[in-house]
C-alpha cells in the first residue's frame, strides 16, 4: 500500500500543559510526527495550549494555535483551517479524548474531516472498560476478572468464581479509603462490609489480585495492511502495584525466557490486530511469576510515555513511523532512519541494557506521601544505557540529580534489622537503597524476594554493586579492581569515598592505568548493519565507536536532565533551539542529555547525541573524545549551569556569558556590589546566622520579611514571616541543616511582580517583551499568572525597567540571555533576582512576540550584534495580542502535598491564552488549565484576616456571577457585615453538615482559601480543606489576586474565540 494522496492537510492535537502523568513525551512524539508529516508535503495545523513546547513552533507546523484544548476551540479551528484529517493519537489521553468527542458529535463528518491514525471504534474498544473486556474475552486474552458489587453476598459469590486473593476498591471514597486485599472469605466479608458503608454509592469493585506479579510492557506497531511488529518490551523491576511511570524499568525484559517473551509478544500482536490499531500501541501485562498465566492490564491505543521510552531505548522512532502509517504507508515501505538500510518492519534488537528511573517530586513536597501506588507521582524520568544492568542502574541513579550517586547515597545503616525488614515492605522511591542495606547485612535473596516480590535476578545485581562497595573498602585499589568498578559504573566520586581518596586521585589512577570510557552506538540492530545516524552511550573496557573526527567547529550543548518542578520542558525547548541555531551557523552540534521524554534526545536533533548522566565525570568522558571548541550552558537550566566550572577545568571554553559573571548574579555580596554600582534599588535586607540576629534585622526592616537560605533553587525553603514567632519558627527549620552560607532576611515588598527576558550582545540589549504577574510578589514567578504585554504599568516604569535591564546586562557582561524579576511598588522599581541564562518564560515570549529569542541569543553568543541581525535595540514594540500564561498544578496526584502558593514553586506546567483582549486571553488561559466554570455556581470562601477586606470585593463579583457563597464563621460574618449574602457553614472540626461535607458533596465549583501564616491549628484546618477540595476535583485558589482574575475571566466569557495563528505573529 502506498501513501494516501487524499490527505493533504492534517490537524494534529497536542497534549496540553505538563502534568504528572502527561509530560514532555508528547512534545517529543508530536514534534517528531509533525516533522514526519511535513517531510511528506502535508500541511500541518497544530493545536496545543502549552507554549513551552517545541511542537508549537512555526518551524514544526504550518499553522500553530496555542488555544485551550476544548471541543469549542477545536471546532473553530477546524472551521477556519478546513483540514481534511485529524490526527489525535499523538497528544496523549487529552488529544485522544478530544478526537473522540469531535467524531462522536458528528462534527468531523459534517465538515468532511476524518480521524486518521486510528478509528473512533478502535479507541472505544481500547478505552471503554466494558468494551475492552468484551474484546479481550472474544480473542481469548485474559484480563484480571472484576465486578462491581452492591452487597456482601454478591461479592462472596463473585469471588468464589475467580478465587482469592481479591482487591476491593470502594467507589467514590477519598483516596481509596475502605479498600484492601482479602485473602479469604472472612477478610472479604469484613472489608467489603466496611467498604460498602464508606462508599457514597454503596459500590465496591472486587478484582482478582495480581499485585506482586511481574509487570511487562510491549510497544507494538501495526499498519493498515495488518502488518505488526514489536518495537521493544520492558520489564518493571517493581512488580504490579506500582504505576509503571513510577517504577524502575529495564529494557528489554531480563527474567523472561523466550517462551514467555514470545507468548506475550504474540498476545500483544493479537490485541493490536483485533483492535485494528494503525500506528503505535502499548500493552501492559501482569505475568504470574511462577507460571505462564498472565493478564492484560491496559492497552493505550496511542503513543505514550512508554512509547517515548521505547523509542529512545531502541532508536526506533515510534511517533515518526506512526505518522507515516497514518498516511497509509506500510511498515515495509518506511525506511529505518537510523540505519537507512533496514525498514520499519525490522524489529529492533538491543545489544545493551536500558534502565529508566522516575524523578519523583518529594524533595519539593515534603509533606506528600512517598508511597508509590497505581497513581503516578513522578514528574519526569531519566534513562541510561550500558552493557550491564548494574552499570545502567548506576548511571541512571546519578542522572537523577537528587544528590545520589550510588546505592550508598541514602543511608539506612542506622536502622535495626527488625526495622529494616519492616521498612522493606514500604514501596517508595527509596526502596532500592533499603534493599542495598539489607544486602550489606546479608539478608537472604529469598527473604528479600518474599518481602518485595522483586525478582532475585535484580536483587543479585544489587548485591553485585554492594559487593563492589565492600571490595573497594577492604581491598587494595589495583588496576583490575578499578576497572571492574568502572565497568559497573561506579563514579569516581563514589570510588574516592570508598577508598578514602579524592576524586582527582581516582581520576589520575584511571589515566595512569588507561581505564577510560568508550562509547558504543544505539543502532536498532545490534551492529548487524552499519548505522547512519546512531547515538551513543558509554561503557568501560571496550572499543570506542565514537570517532572524534573533525570537519567543522564543534559545540557542546548541555541538556537539562529530568523534568522536575522548577526545571521543565522550557529548557529542552531552549537546548533544542540553540542546537539548531548552532547548526545553522555551521557548527557540528553535540548534545548530552539523559531524559528520554524530550525532543533534545531525539536521534536527529544534534549531529551527535550522547545519552549520558550530566555529571562532571560523564561530561568529561565526552569532552575527551570530542574536544569541543566550546560549550554552551545558558540554555540547559540549573543542570547545565552547575557544570560550568567543571567544563572550564576541562579546558572547554564557555560560550556566552562568563562563569564569573553568572556567579556574581548568584552571590549575595557580589550582586549587592553590582546593584550599588548600577544604582538599582532592591528590597532592604541583611544576612544573618542566628535567630536573634534574624529578629533584629526583621524588626529593623519591619514585617513582613522574606526569609531564605542562600544558594537555593526554585525558592526552596523560602518563607514570608509576619512576626517574631514566625522568624523563630523558620530559623529553627532552616538551621536544622548546618548552613554554609548566611541566611537572607529581606523586607518583603508586596507589589506588582514584573519579569523581563532579554538578549544582550555586549553593547545593546533586546527586550522582546515585558511580562506582568497577576499575583503580587510572594508567589513564585513560575506559579504566577503572567501577562504579556504588561497591562498596568506606566510609561515611566516601563522606561525604568528597560534602563535597569540594560544596566544589569552591562554590569554582568551578559552575552546571550538574561532574565530579571522586578517588583514595582509605589511607582518605584526594585530588582528581586537576576539570572544570566535562559528562563522558563523564553519559549512563551518567543512565540507571542514572534522573536526567536534562543536563535538570536545563540547568534549573539557567536559574535553577531543585535543591530546586524536586524533588531532595533531596546524594548520591542508591543504585539497585537495579549497573552496570559497560566500555571498548571498536579496536586491531586500527590496525596498530602500542601497546595497553597508561596515563594517555593509548585506548578508542573503551564498553558497559554492568547487573544486580542486581556479578558479573552485570561478566559482562554483558565480554560486551557482545565478550569471550566461555572458548574454548580456554589463556592466556599474562607480567608485569613488580612485578606478579608479584599474578600468582600471578590465575593461580590462571584455573587454577581450567580454564585452562592458559603463561608466559615468569621469570614461569613465579615462578608455579611459588608453587604455580601454569605451563608455560614460549620468548620471541619464542628458538627456536620460542615465545610467538608459541602466539598465532598460534589456540589462546589470553587474553594478560595488563603492560608494563615504559620503552622498553627487554623492552618491545619485550611490544609484539610484545600487537600480535600483538590482530591474531590474542586478548583482551589489560595491568593486573592488569582480569585479576582478568575472573576474577570468568568465575567467576560466570549461567544466565540479569536483564533491566533502563532506562525503569523510578528511584531517588528
Determine which residue in the list 306, 330, 379, 1012 makes contact with other proteins, applying CB under 8 A. 330
558 within 8 A of 349, measured Cβ to Cβ: no
Which region, judged by CB under 8 A, interacts with other proteins, from 38-46, 185-193, 327-335, 835-843? 327-335
Residue closer to other proteins by CB (options 366, 527) is 527
**Smallest distance, Å, CB 279 to other proteins?**
16
Residue closer to other proteins by CB (options 505, 544) is 544
For 200, which DSSP code? T
Which region, judged by CB under 8 A, interacts with other proteins, from 24-32, 228-236, 633-641, 790-798? 228-236
Instruction: In whole angstroms, give the CA distance from residue 861 to residue 814.
Output: 9
Residue closer to other proteins by CB (options 397, 525) is 525
Residue among 177, 272, 291 nearest 231 (CA):
272
341: contact with other proteins by CB under 8 A: yes
346: contact with other proteins by CB under 8 A: yes
709: contact with other proteins by CB under 8 A: no
356: contact with other proteins by CB under 8 A: no
218: contact with other proteins by CB under 8 A: no
450: contact with other proteins by CB under 8 A: no
Phi and psi based region of residue 930 (left: phi greater than 0; alpha: psi -120 to 50; beta: remaining): left
538 within 8 A of 354, measured Cβ to Cβ: no
**Smallest distance, Å, CB 472 to other proteins?**
19
227: contact with other proteins by CB under 8 A: yes
List the end-to-end C-alpha distance of the chain, in Å, as a whole number.
47
Instruction: In whole angstroms, give the CA distance from residue 564 to residue 854.
Output: 22
Residue closer to other proteins by CB (options 233, 838) is 233
428 within 8 A of 371, measured Cβ to Cβ: yes
Residue closer to other proteins by CB (options 220, 1047) is 220
Neighbours of 824 (CB within 10 A): 23
- Quick note: the x/- pattern for other proteins over 256-285, rule CB under 8 A, is xxxx-xx--xx--x----------------
For 360, which DSSP code? -
**Smallest distance, Å, CB 213 to other proteins?**
12
3-state secondary structure of 4: coil
351: contact with other proteins by CB under 8 A: yes
Which region, judged by CB under 8 A, interacts with other proteins, from 78-86, 238-246, 328-336, 679-687? 328-336
Residue closer to other proteins by CB (options 544, 687) is 544
Which region, judged by CB under 8 A, interacts with other proteins, from 348-356, 752-760, 811-819, 874-882? 348-356
- For residues 460-498, one letter each, b for 16 or more C-beta atoms within 10 angstroms of the residue's C-beta and e for the rest, the string is ebbbebbebbebbeeeebeeebbebbbbbbbbbbbbbbb
Residues 456 to 515 in contact with other proteins, rule: CB under 8 A: 456-457, 460-461, 464
Determine which residue in the list 165, 348, 873, 887 makes contact with other proteins, applying CB under 8 A. 348
Residue closer to other proteins by CB (options 539, 1062) is 539
Residue closer to other proteins by CB (options 187, 545) is 545
Determine which residue in the list 164, 343, 513, 703 makes contact with other proteins, applying CB under 8 A. 343
For 417, which DSSP code? H
**Smallest distance, Å, CB 518 to other proteins?**
9
For 782, which DSSP code? G
**Smallest distance, Å, CB 547 to other proteins?**
13
**Smallest distance, Å, CB 350 to other proteins?**
6
Instruction: In whole angstroms, give the CA distance from residue 306 to residue 298.
Output: 12
4: contact with other proteins by CB under 8 A: no
Question: In angstroms, what CA-CA distances link 315 with 277, 602, 772, 1066?
Answer: 22, 9, 43, 37
Determine which residue in the list 161, 291, 416, 992 makes contact with other proteins, applying CB under 8 A. 291
**Smallest distance, Å, CB 465 to other proteins?**
13
Determine which residue in the list 229, 407, 745, 1063 makes contact with other proteins, applying CB under 8 A. 229
Question: What counts of helices (H) and strands (E) characterise the chain?
Answer: 36, 39
Which region, judged by CB under 8 A, interacts with other proteins, from 44-52, 287-295, 585-593, 1046-1054? 287-295
**Smallest distance, Å, CB 463 to other proteins?**
8
Instruction: In whole angstroms, give the CA distance from residue 995 to residue 121.
Output: 43
In DSSP terms, which residues pair with 9 in a beta bridge? 43
Q: What are phi and psi of 451, to 5 degrees?
A: -75, -45
746 within 8 A of 684, measured Cβ to Cβ: yes
953: contact with other proteins by CB under 8 A: no
Which region, judged by CB under 8 A, interacts with other proteins, from 171-179, 221-229, 599-607, 924-932? 221-229
Greatest CA separation for the chain: 83
Return the sign of the alpha-carbon dihedral for residues 743, 745, 748, 753.
Answer: negative
Question: In angstroms, what CA-CA distances link 1014 with 224, 431, 727, 919, 1021?
Answer: 61, 33, 10, 35, 12
Residue closer to other proteins by CB (options 542, 624) is 542
Which helix (H) or strand (E) segment holds residue 558: the answer is: strand 554-558
**Smallest distance, Å, CB 421 to other proteins?**
22
Determine which residue in the list 197, 200, 542, 1020 makes contact with other proteins, applying CB under 8 A. 542
Instruction: In whole angstroms, give the CA distance from residue 785 to residue 887.
Output: 6
Instruction: In whole angstroms, give the CA distance from residue 523 to residue 516.
Output: 22
How many angstroms from the chain centroid is the CA of residue 145? Answer: 34
- 214-222/279-287 β-pairing: antiparallel
**Smallest distance, Å, CB 583 to other proteins?**
29
Residue among 8, 608, 28, 7 nearest 318 (CA):
28
The count of chain residues that interact with other proteins, using the rule CB under 8 A, is: 58
Residues 811 to 830 in contact with other proteins, rule: CB under 8 A: none
Residue among 592, 600, 566, 580 nearest 24 (CA):
600
Return the residue matching grid coordinates 464508606: 198
- Quick note: the x/- pattern for other proteins over 388-427, rule CB under 8 A, is xx--------------------------------------
Residue 702: CB partners within 8 Å, gap ≥ 6? Answer: 747
455: contact with other proteins by CB under 8 A: yes
516: contact with other proteins by CB under 8 A: no
**Smallest distance, Å, CB 926 to other proteins?**
49
Residue closer to other proteins by CB (options 265, 658) is 265
Residues 617 to 656 in contact with other proteins, rule: CB under 8 A: none
Residue closer to other proteins by CB (options 38, 335) is 335
C-alpha cell at 375: 497513581
Residue closer to other proteins by CB (options 391, 686) is 391
Determine which residue in the list 175, 212, 289, 717 makes contact with other proteins, applying CB under 8 A. 289
- 874-875/765-773 β-pairing: parallel
Q: What is the DSSP string of 858-914?
A: HHHHTT--TTTTT--SEEPPP-SSEEEEEEE--GGGSTT------SS----EEEEEE
Which region, judged by CB under 8 A, interacts with other proteins, from 21-29, 302-310, 541-549, 1022-1030? 541-549
Determine which residue in the list 353, 400, 546, 785 makes contact with other proteins, applying CB under 8 A. 353
Return the sign of the alpha-carbon dihedral for residues 748, 753, 757, 763.
Answer: negative
**Smallest distance, Å, CB 341 to other proteins?**
7
528: contact with other proteins by CB under 8 A: yes
Q: Which residues bind other proteins (CB under 8 A)?
A: 1, 225-230, 252-259, 261-262, 265-266, 269, 289-291, 330-332, 341-343, 345-353, 387-389, 455-457, 460-461, 464, 520, 525-530, 541-543, 545
Amino acid at each position: 500500500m502506498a501513501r494516501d494522496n487524499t490527505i493533504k492537510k492534517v490537524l494534529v492535537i497536542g497534549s496540553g500543559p505538563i502534568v504528572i502523568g502527561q509530560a514532555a513525551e508528547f512534545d517529543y512524539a508530536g514534534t517528531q510526527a509533525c516533522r514526519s508529516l511535513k517531510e511528506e508535503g502535508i500541511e500541518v495545523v497544530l493545536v496545543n495550549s502549552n507554549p513551552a513546547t517545541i511542537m508549537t513552533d512555526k518551524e514544526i507546523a504550518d499553522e500553530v494555535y496555542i488555544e485551550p484544548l476544548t471541543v469549542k476551540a477545536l471546532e473553530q479551528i477546524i472551521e477556519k483551517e478546513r483540514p481534511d484529517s485529524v490526527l489525535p493519537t499523538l497528544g496523549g489521553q487529552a488529544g485522544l479524548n478530544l478526537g473522540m468527542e469531535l467524531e462522536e458529535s458528528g462534527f468531523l463528518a459534517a465538515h468532511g474531516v476524518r480521524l486518521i491514525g486510528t478509528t473512533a471504534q478502535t479507541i472505544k474498544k481500547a478505552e471503554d472498560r466494558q468494551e475492552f473486556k468484551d474484546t479481550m474475552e472474544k480473542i481469548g486474552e485474559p484480563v484480571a476478572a472484576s465486578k462491581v458489587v452492591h452487597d456482601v453476598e454478591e461479592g462472596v459469590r463473585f469471588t468464589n468464581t475467580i478465587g482469592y486473593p481479591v482487591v476491593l476498591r470502594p467507589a467514590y471514597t477519598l483516596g481509596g479509603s475502605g479498600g484492601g486485599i482479602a485473602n479469604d472469605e472472612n477478610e472479604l466479608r469484613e472489608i467489603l462490609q466496611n467498604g460498602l458503608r464508606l462508599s457514597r454509592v454503596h459500590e465496591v469493585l472486587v478484582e482478582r489480585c495480581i499485585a506482586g506479579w511481574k509487570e511487562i510492557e510491549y510497544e507494538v506497531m501495526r499498519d493498515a495492511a495488518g502488518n505488526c511488529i514489536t518495537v521493544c518490551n520492558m520489564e518493571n523491576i517493581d512488580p504490579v502495584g506500582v504505576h509503571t511511570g513510577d517504577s524502575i524499568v529495564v529494557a528489554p525484559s531480563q527474567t523472561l525466557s523466550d517462551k514467555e517473551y514470545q507468548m506475550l509478544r504474540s498476545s500483544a500482536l493479537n490485541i493490536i490486530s483485533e483492535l485494528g490499531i494503525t500506528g503505535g500501541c502499548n500493552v501492559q501485562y501482569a505475568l504470574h511469576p511462577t507460571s505462564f498465566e498472565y493478564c492484560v492490564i491496559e492497552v493505550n491505543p496511542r503513543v505514550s510515555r512508554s512509547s517515548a521510552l521505547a523509542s529512545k531505548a531502541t532508536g526506533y522512532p515510534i511517533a515518526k513511523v506512526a505518522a507515516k502509517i497514518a498516511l497509509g504507508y506500510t511498515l515495509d515501505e518506511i525506511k529505518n532512519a537510523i540505519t537507512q538500510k533496514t525498514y520499519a518492519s525490522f524489529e529492533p534488537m538491543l545489544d545493551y541494557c536500558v534502565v529508566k528511573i522516575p524523578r519523583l517530586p518529594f524533595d519539593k513536597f515534603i509533606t506528600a506521601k512517598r508511597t508509590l501506588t497505581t497513581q503516578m507521582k513522578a514528574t519526569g524520568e531519566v534513562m541510561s544505557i550500558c552493557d550491564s544492568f548494574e552499570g545502567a542502574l548506576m548511571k541512571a541513579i546519578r542522572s537523577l540529580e537528587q544528590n545520589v550517586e550510588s546505592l550508598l547515597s541514602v543511608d539506612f545503616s542506622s536502622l535495626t534489622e527488625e526495622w529494616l525488614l519492616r521498612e522493606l515492605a514500604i514501596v517508595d522511591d527509596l526502596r532500592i537503597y533499603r534493599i542495598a542495606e539489607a544486602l550489606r547485612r546479608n539478608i537472604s535473596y529469598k527473604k528479600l524476594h518474599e518481602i518485595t516480590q522483586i525478582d532475585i535476578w535484580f536483587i543479585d545485581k544489587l548485591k553485585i554493586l554492594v559487593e563492589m562497595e565492600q571490595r573497594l573498602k577492604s581491598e587494595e585499589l589495583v588496576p583490575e579492581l578499578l576497572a571492574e568498578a568502572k565497568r559497573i559504573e561506579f563514579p569516581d566520586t563514589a570510588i574516592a569515598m570508598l577508598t578514602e581518596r579524592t576524586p582527582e586521585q581516582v581520576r589520575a589512577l584511571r589515566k595512569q592505568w588507561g581505564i577510560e570510557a568508550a562509547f558504543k552506538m544505539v543502532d536498532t540492530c545490534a551492529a548487524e548493519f552499519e548505522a547512519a545516524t546512531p547515538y551513543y552511550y558509554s561503557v568501560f573496557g571496550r572499543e570506542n565507536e565514537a570517532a572524534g573526527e573533525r570537519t567543522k567547529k564543534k559545540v557542546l550543548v548541555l541538556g537539562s536532565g529530568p523534568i522536575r518542578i522548577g526545571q521543565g520542558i522550557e529548557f529542552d525547548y531552549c537546548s533544542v533551539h540553540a542546537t539548531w541555531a548552532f547548526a545553522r551557523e555551521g557548527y557540528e552540534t553535540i548534545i548530552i542529555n539523559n531524559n528520554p521524554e524530550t525532543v533534545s534526545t531525539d536521534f536527529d536533533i544534534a549531529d551527535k547525541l550522547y545519552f549520558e548522566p550530566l555529571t562532571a565525570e560523564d561530561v568529561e568522558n565526552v569532552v575527551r573524545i570530542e574536544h569541543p571548541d566550546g560549550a554552551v550552558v545558558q540554555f540547559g537550566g540549573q543542570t547545565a549551569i552547575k557544570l560550568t566550572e567543571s567544563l572550564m577545568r576541562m579546558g572547554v571554553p564557555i560560550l556566552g556569558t562568563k562563569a564569573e559573571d553568572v556567579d556574581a548574579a548568584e552571590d549575595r555580596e557580589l550582586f549587592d556590589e553590582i546593584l550599588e554600582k548600577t544604582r538599582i534599588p532592591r528590597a532592604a535586607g541583611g544576612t544573618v546566622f542566628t535567630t536573634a540576629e534574624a529578629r533584629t534585622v526583621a524588626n529593623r526592616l519591619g514585617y513582613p520579611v522574606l526569609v531564605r537560605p542562600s544558594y537555593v533553587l526554585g525558592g526552596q525553603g523560602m518563607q514570608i514571616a509576619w512576626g517574631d514567632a514566625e522568624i523563630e519558627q523558620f530559623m529553627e527549620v532552616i538551621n536544622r541543616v548546618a548552613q554554609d552560607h548566611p541566611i537572607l532576611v529581606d523586607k518583603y515588598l508586596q507589589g506588582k511582580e514584573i519579569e523581563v527576558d532579554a538578549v544582550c550582545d555586549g553593547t545593546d540589549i533586546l527586550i522582546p517583551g515585558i511580562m506582568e504577574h497577576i499575583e503580587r510578589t510572594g508567589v513564585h514567578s513560575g506559579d504566577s499568572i503572567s501577562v504579556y504585554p504588561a497591562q498596568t504599568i506606566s510609561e515611566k516604569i516601563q522606561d525604568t525597567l528597560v534602563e535597569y535591564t540594560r544596566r544589569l546586562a552591562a554590569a554582568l557582561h551578559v552575552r546571550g540571555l538574561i532574565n530579571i524579576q522586578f517588583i514595582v511598588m509605589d511607582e518605584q522599581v526594585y530588582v528581586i533576582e537576576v539570572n544570566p541564562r535562559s528562563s522558563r518564560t523564553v519559549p512563551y515570549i518567543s512565540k507571542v512576540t514572534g522573536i526567536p529569542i534562543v536563535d538570536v541569543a545563540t547568534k549573539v553568543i557567536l559574535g553577531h550584534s543585535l543591530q546586524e541581525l536586524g533588531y532595533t535595540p531596546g524594548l520591542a514594540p508591543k504585539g497585537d495580542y495579549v497573552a496570559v500564561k497560566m500555571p498548571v498544578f498536579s496536586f491531586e496526584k500527590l496525596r498530602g502535598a500542601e497546595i497553597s502558593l508561596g515563594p517555593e514553586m509548585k506548578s508542573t506546567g503551564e498553558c497559554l491564552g492568547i487573544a486580542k483582549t486581556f479578558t479573552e486571553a485570561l478566559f482562554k488561559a483558565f480554560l486551557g488549565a482545565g478550569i471550566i466554570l461555572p458548574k454548580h455556581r456554589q463556592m466556599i470562601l474562607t480567608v485569613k484576616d488580612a485578606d478579608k477586606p479584599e474578600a468582600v470585593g471578590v465575593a461580590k463579583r462571584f455573587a454577581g456571577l450567580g454564585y452562592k457563597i458559603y463561608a466559615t464563621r468569621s469570614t461569613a460574618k465579615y462578608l455579611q457585615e459588608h453587604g455580601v449574602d454569605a451563608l455560614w457553614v460549620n468548620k471541619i472540626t464542628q458538627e456536620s453538615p460542615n465545610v467538608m461535607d459541602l466539598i465532598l458533596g460534589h456540589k462546589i465549583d470553587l474553594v478560595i482559601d488563603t492560608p494563615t501564616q504559620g503552622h498553627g491549628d487554623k492552618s491545619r484546618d485550611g490544609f484539610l480543606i484545600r487537600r480535600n477540595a483538590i482530591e474531590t476535583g474542586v478548583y482551589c485558589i489560595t491568593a486573592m489576586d488569582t480569585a479576582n482574575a478568575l472573576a474577570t475571566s468568568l465575567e467576560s466569557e466570549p461567544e466565540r474565540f479569536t483564533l491566533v495563528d502563532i506562525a503569523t505573529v510578528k511584531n517588528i
